[in-house]
Structure 1
Amino acid sequence: MSEKPISHLIGGFAGGLTSAVILQPFDLVKTRLQQQPSGSIPDTLRTLSSYKELWRGTLPSAVRTSVGSALYLTSLHAFRSVLAKSHNSSATNVSGSSSSLPKLSMAENLVTGGLTRGFVGFVTMPITVLKVRYESTVYQYDSLLGAVRSIHQTEGVKGFFRGFTATCMRDAPYAGLYVLFYEQCKMVLPKMLPNVDTGTTLSVSKSAMINSLSAFSAASIATTITGPFDTIKTRMQLKPLEFTGFWQAGVKIVREEGAIRLFDGLSLRLTRKAFSAGIAWGIYEEIIKYIVRQH
C-alpha cells in the first residue's frame, strides 16, 4: 500500500529537527568564519562567551530545517512518485531494499532533487535569512521578532529573500547531486557489505546502516562541489551593501581575498551536511517503512 503524504511530513520533520539541534554548533561556527575576511576555527571558538553560545540561533535553524525537510521530502516523493508511475513502476518498494522510495533513472534523480529543492528553498528563504543573521556577530538582534522588524524596516520585504540566487545555485545543484549519489550508493553498498541478502527484506539495523552511510557519502560529495556557493550566499546575506549580486560577490572575493576563500567553512559545512544527512535521511526512511508495513 502506498504511504500517505502525512507520513513523509512526519518523517521529514522528525529527521530534520533531530539533526538541526544536534549539529547547530557547526552551523554557527561556519557562519562566523565566513562573515570575516580572515580567521580560523580555533580563533572563532575563542571569541565565544560560553559553550552555550554554540547553540545561538537554534530556534530559527530548527524551524527552517524541520519544516524545510518535511516540505522537501514530501514534495520530492510526490514528484518522484508521479515519474515512477509514468514508467509503470511501483512508487513504493520495501522488500529486498533499504528504502521504500521510488526508483528512477540517474537523470531523473538529479532533476527532481534540484527542482524540488529550489521550490522549497524559496518558501523557507525568510527563515534562512533570519537564521544566518541571528547566528552572526554582524547583527546584534535582541530577539527573532526584533530581527524581523529590523529587516523589514531597513530593507523591506526583499530583505527576507536576500541571497536567494546564491542559495538556489548552491542548494538546487546540491540536492540534485545528493539524490543522484544517494540512490547510487544505496544500490552499491548492499553488495559491498557482508551478510546482506538483497532478495529478502532487510532488518531495521541493516537498512538504517545502508541508508545512513549512503546519505553521509552522498552529502560529502555534493557539499564539496557546491561549497563556493555557500560562502557567496553567506556574504550576500550578512553584508548586502558590499556584496550586491551573486557574480559580483564571487568576483570580489576572488580578487580581494583569493579563490581559496570561496571554500571558507567547507570542513564545518561538510561535517554538518554529512552527519545531518545521515541522521535525517536515516530517521526519515525508517519512519516511512514502518508506516508502510503497519498498513
Structure 2
Amino acid sequence: MADRSRTTSHLVGGFFGGLTSSVILQPFDLLKTRIQQNKNTTLMNAIRSIDSPLQLWRGTLPSALRTSFGSALYLSTLNIVRSTISKGRAQTVKRTNSSYLPQLGMYENLFSGAISRAVVGLITMPITVIKVRFESTMYSYRSMGEATSHIYKSEGLKGFFNGSGATILRDAPYAGLYVLLYEQSKQQLPKVLPGTLIAYDERGMFTTYTSTIVNSIGAFLSASLATTITSPFDTIKTRMQLDPSRFSGFLKTFYLILKDEKPRNLFDGLSLRLTRKALSAGIAWGIYEELIKKFMS
C-alpha cells in the first residue's frame, strides 16, 4: 500500500506540475514551432502572423494532454527507476533539505533520466505529432479528432510516430543531463544563496519557501543548459513531423538543413524553447517537489 501511495503521489505531482506549466507557456511553444517550420520565419514574423491573442494558445489541448499525462508518466517512471537502483542501500529514500526524492550518483541520475524519458516519449509520440501540427500554419485542423483522422488516412499508423527517433535523441540526453544537473544544483545552491533565503522547519528540512526557491532555481538553470545542448535535435524533430515527405529521416533532415540552409538553423527557435523549457521546469518541478513532500510527510 505504501508503494502504491508513493507512486500515486508522483503521478499526481507530475500531472498538476505539467498541466500548469503547459497552459501558461503554450505561446512560447507555438511561436517556436512556427519559426522552425520555415527557415525564413523570424520571431517578429511569427508574432505578426497571429490574428488575436487567443491564437497564441492554439494547440493548448494536445499540448496540455501531452505535458500533463507525459509528466505524470515520466516522473512516476523516473521515481520507480531511481528507487529500484537505490534498493539495497542503507536508505532507499534519502531526504535532503529540499527534497524527498531518491539520491543517486551522477551516472545513475544520467541513466535514469534518459531511459525514463525515452520510454515515455515513445508512448506520448502520437499526441506530440498532433500538437506540433496544430501549432504550425501548414495545417488547419479544427479539432483533435480531425487531426487524428487526417494523419491516419494520409500516412497510416506510422504517421503518428514521425520524428520519433529525433525526439528520443533529443529527450533522452536532455532528461539525463537535466536530472544530473538538477540533483547537483539542489546540493550546491544553498551554499551560494543569500542567508536570508535559507530557513528551516522543526524537522530540519527547508521551509516551503526556501525549498521552492532552491528547487525552482535549480530546475531553471539545469533546463537552460540541457535545452541548449539538445536544441538541434528539436529542430530536426519538428521538420520531420511537419513535412515527412521531404524530411523522411533523421540523417537526411540533418543533411538537408546543412546543405540548403546554415548550421545556425539547427538552433532555430532556441530562445523560445530555452525560455519555455527553463520556465516550465521551474514551475513544474517546484510544484512537483512540494506535492511530493505533502504526500510523504
> Scaled by the length of structure 2, what TM-score is found?
0.95
* Contact 2:34/2:41 (8 A) holds in 1: no
Q: Which residue of 1 aligns with 2:20?
A: 18
Match of 2:281 among 277, 281, 284: 277
* Contact 2:11/2:76 (8 A) holds in 1: yes
Match of 1:72 among 71, 74, 80: 74
Q: Which residue of 2 aligns with 1:59?
A: 61
- 1:140 Cα deviation from its structure 2 partner: 1.4
Q: Aligned-pair RMSD on alpha carbons?
A: 1.3
- 1:4 Cα deviation from its structure 2 partner: 1.5
How do 1:1-295 residues align onto structure 2 when only pairs under 5 Å count? Answer: 4-93=6-95, 96-195=96-195, 196=198, 200-293=204-297
In structure 2, list runs of 5 or more residues that go unmatched: none
Q: Distance in 2 between matches of 1:139 and 1:47?
A: 14
- 1:197 Cα deviation from its structure 2 partner: 6.7
- 1:143 Cα deviation from its structure 2 partner: 1.4
Q: Distance in 2 between matches of 1:19 and 1:97?
A: 25
Q: Distance in 2 between matches of 1:172 and 1:6?
A: 24
Give the AA of the match of 1:290: K
Per-residue CA deviation, residues 206-261 of structure 1 (Å, 9 max, x unaligned), is 00000000000000000000000000000000000000100110110011101000
Give the AA of the match of 2:166: A
Per-residue CA deviation, residues 18-68 of structure 1 (Å, 9 max, x unaligned), is 000000000000000100121210111001111110000000000000000
Aligned residue-pair number: 291
| Secondary structure in structure 2 of the residue aligned to 1:242 | coil
In structure 1, list runs of 5 or more residues that go unmatched: none
> Scaled by the length of structure 1, what TM-score is found?
0.96
Per-residue CA deviation, residues 42-98 of structure 1 (Å, 9 max, x unaligned), is 1110011111100000000000000000000000001101111233333252xx511
Per-residue CA deviation, residues 189-212 of structure 1 (Å, 9 max, x unaligned), is 011123337892110000000000
Q: Distance in 2 between matches of 1:194 and 1:34?
A: 40
Q: Distance in 2 between matches of 1:256 and 1:215?
A: 36
- 1:142 Cα deviation from its structure 2 partner: 2.0
Per-residue CA deviation, residues 145-188 of structure 1 (Å, 9 max, x unaligned), is 01100000000000001100000000000000000000010010
Q: Distance in 2 between matches of 1:242 and 1:68?
A: 29
Give the AA of the match of 1:140: S
Q: Distance in 2 between matches of 1:37 and 1:179?
A: 32
